[in-house]
């Protein structure tokens, strides 16, 4: 299994008491699977994805990514694992506003010393259909174009695990559908495992499996209809 989660819990202090975000969550995800994490707002979906990415540490439980227990890794080792294994797509894009589309995609390549940087970044922009927008800054791009740049950046180092947090949340339905199609295409081309958070049943239906959270607990793990 590429991802193995056992008895995961996340609790935060709130007004002198403990607020439970996740409790007793366990599941495994095989390599190359497409998994949707579904549930109502406040069910713990985004918190779970952040924990899988090592962006936060859980209160209890274990998370293994490609056989490595990430909850006990030192920060430097965790940063290397994120760089080498995980790509993350944010709902709100998180592009660097002072960098062009090409420069945003080049950032992870430069940090990893993955030369030649510029040709590889251009090829990635071409793969997401934005070769002609390379010199544009985020403010000059539509929401859908910004998300495409963010996706190109997330897959720049060909991660084995691609995580997407409500990747269509800030987009209209037509553009959102194009983004989901793009994520599925890259999942196939790069043979990556794709885990996406969504509250939209139509988007969840594209997955191989749907994990449903309710009030911080995993209440269903169902195989989706064949794609």
d(CA 163, CA 148): 14
Confidence of residue 17 (pLDDT cuts 50, 70, 90): confident
pTM of the model: 0.93
Confidence of residue 225 (pLDDT cuts 50, 70, 90): low
Confidence of residue 170 (pLDDT cuts 50, 70, 90): confident
- Mind listing the pLDDT tens digit for each residue in 76-126? 999 999 999 999 999 889 999 999 999 999 999 999 998 899 999 999 999
pLDDT of residue 169: 87
Instruction: Assess whether pLDDT exceeds 80 at residue 227.
Output: no
Q: What angle in degrees, to the nearest 10, is found between the helix axes of 173-190 and 143-154?
A: 20
pLDDT of residue 192: 95
Instruction: Assess whether pLDDT exceeds 90 at residue 64.
Output: yes
Confidence of residue 132 (pLDDT cuts 50, 70, 90): very high
pLDDT of residue 206: 92
Of the chain, the percentage scoring pLDDT greater than 70 comes to: 99
Confidence of residue 224 (pLDDT cuts 50, 70, 90): confident
SS3 102: helix
d(CA 47, CA 151): 20
Average pLDDT over residues 26-45: 95
- Mind listing the pLDDT tens digit for each residue in 188-199? 999 999 999 998
SS3 6: strand
Cα dihedral 162, 92, 223, 24 sign: positive
Q: Which residue has the higher pLDDT, 100 or 172?
A: 100
pLDDT of residue 24: 97
Confidence of residue 184 (pLDDT cuts 50, 70, 90): very high
Delineate the domains of the chain, giving CATH numbers in brackets.
3-223 (3.40.50.300)
| Whole-number average pLDDT of the chain | 93
d(CA 133, CA 141): 8
Residue 127 and residue 186 in contact, taking contact as beta carbons nearer than 8 Å: yes
């Amino acid at each position: 299994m590429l991802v193995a989660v056992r008895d995961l819990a996340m609790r935060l202090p709130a007004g002198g008491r403990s607020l439970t975000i996740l409790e007793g969550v366990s599941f495994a995800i095989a390599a190359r699977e497409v998994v949707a994490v579904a549930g109502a707002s406040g069910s713990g979906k985004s918190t779970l994805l952040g924990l899988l990415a090592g962006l936060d540490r859980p209160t209890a439980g274990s998370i293994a990514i490609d056989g490595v227990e990430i909850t006990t890794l030192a920060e430097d080792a965790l940063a290397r694992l994120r760089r080498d294994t995980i790509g993350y797509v944010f709902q709100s894009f998180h592009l660097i506003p002072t960098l062009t589309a090409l420069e945003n995609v080049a950032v992870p390549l430069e940090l990893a010393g993955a030369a030649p940087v510029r040709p590889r970044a251009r090829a990635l922009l071409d793969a997401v259909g934005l070769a002609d927008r390379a010199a544009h800054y985020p403010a000059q791009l539509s929401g859908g174009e910004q998300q495409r740049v963010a996706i190109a950046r997330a897959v720049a180092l060909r991660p084995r695990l691609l995580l997407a947090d409500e990747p269509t949340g800030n987009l209209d339905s037509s553009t959102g559908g194009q983004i989901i199609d793009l994520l599925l295409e890259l999942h196939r081309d790069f043979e990556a495992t794709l885990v996406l958070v969504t509250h939209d049943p139509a988007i969840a239906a594209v997955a191989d499996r749907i994990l449903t959270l309710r009030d911080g607990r995993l209440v269903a793990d169902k195989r989706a209809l064949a794609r």
